[in-house]
Structure formats: structure tokens, C-alpha cells
Amino acid sequence: MKTLAIVGASGHGKVVAEIAELVGWQEVVFFDDAFPTVLSVGEWKVLGTTEDLVSQVDRYSTAIVAIGDNSVRLKKSRYLCSKSLKLATLLHPGSIISKYANVHSGSVVMAGAVINPFTSIGMASIINTGCSVDHDCMVGEGVHISPGVHVAGGVSIGDLSWLGIGSAVKHCVEIGSSVVVGAGAVVVNNIAPNLLVKGIPAK
């Protein structure tokens, strides 16, 4: 049986699990470090902690981390790779992804998202519901592009950055690593690393 292990029994994990089923995973199971306090999430069982998963790599060879916190998600994804687990890439069948785009392992693309040609999405990133990432964008590792975000062409987004719901980014803008863009913000200028920006225009 084709089984996917998901690390992170959360609301986000429920969405990831449904996508996994839609694209053909026959069985979906969860692992969460709150086990045994948490024994299920939605319709799915929680079978143990991250370390329990690692100890059963022969049984659960493919996994994905479904944790909203960017730094935790990326750290755990790298850890699973170091323990010889293969990271899944999940692309919702209702998303539109150019054949010339590249979505790296451990990432999830949700319903209604559009990724246009020659864009690269880094490892363990979330491209959330109904957002768009235009041509020639470079999205780093552990990034979260929230629902309804629109990123114009030629944009660079550094590792661990988070674009809040409904925000927009002007073409050819560079966003540094670990940046937080507030909900509904409009980014029209380059943003240095480690900043929180908000408003129209984002400052």
C-alpha cells in the first residue's frame, strides 16, 4: 500500500492530507510530537512522534511536514532528509503549474494556485489556496505564500519569508529572508531581510 507519513497534526495538516488522497496516496498517517496526547486529526490517526517515524523509515519511506511555522517546517524537513526519508511534493489537482516551473520536495501547492513558467519554489514551501506566482520568480526554502496573494513576475523571495493573506508584490521586487509581509499589504520596493512590513505601500 502506498502510504504517506505527515508530520504535524494540525489544521494545515488536514488540508495536506486531503491533497495527498486526491493525488493518489492510498493511506495517510500522521506523526506529531504531542503524541500520545493527540491521537487523531480529522479522519486520520496519529501514530507517534517524529522520532517514531524516523525509527520506522523502512515502513514509511515518504513523508511531508505539515507545520505552519516556516522555520520549524524547514528544520524538520531537513532532519527527515538526513534520516533517509524521501520528501513528497504535493500538487493539488485544482492548481495550475507550468511545465517549465520547478516545485521542490517537501512543498505543497493548494487548490486554485497558479505557478507560471520558469518560476522555482524552494523546498518545504507552502503555496496556498488561490494565490498566483508569475513567471521567472525565485521562491526560497521554507516560504509561505498565503491564500489570495499575487506575486508579479521576476520577484525574488528569500528563505523563511511569509507573505500574509491577500498581499501583493510588484514585479522584479526582491524580498529578503525571514521577512513577514502583513495581510493585504502591497510591496512595491525591495525589502531587506528580517523585517515586518505592512500597509499600502508596504513599509
The Cα–Cα gap between 132 and 153 comes to 10
Q: What class has domain 89-196?
A: mainly beta
Answering whether pTM is above 0.85, one says yes
CB-based contacts of 81: which residues, under 8 Å, 6+ apart? 87
- Given this model, what pLDDT does residue 58 score? 87
Question: DSSP assignment of 17-35, as one string?
Answer: HHHHHHTT-SEEEEE-TTT
Q: What is the pLDDT of residue 40?
A: 96
Residues 6 or more apart in contact with residue 27 via CB below 8 angstroms: 1, 2, 3, 4
Lateral strand order in the sheet of 44-48: 40-41, 44-48, 27-31, 3-7, 62-65, 86-87
Q: How far apart (Å, rounded) are the C-alpha atoms in residues 188 and 201?
A: 6
Question: What pLDDT does 1 receive?
Answer: 66
- Residue 88 DSSP one-character state: P
Other CB atoms within a 10 A radius of the CB of residue 40 amount to 10
Q: Is residue 89 classed exposed, middle or buried when 0-12, 13-18 and 19+ CB atoms within 10 A define those classes?
A: middle
Per-residue model confidence as pLDDT tens for the chain (203 residues): 689 999 999 999 999 999 999 999 999 999 999 999 999 999 999 999 999 999 999 899 899 999 999 999 999 999 999 999 999 999 999 999 999 999 999 999 999 999 999 999 999 999 999 999 999 999 999 999 999 999 999 999 999 999 999 999 999 999 999 999 999 999 999 999 999 999 999 99
- Write down the domain spans for the chain: 3-88, 89-196
Supply 56's cell numbers.
520506522
Assess if CATH 3.30.450.20 describes domain 3-88: no
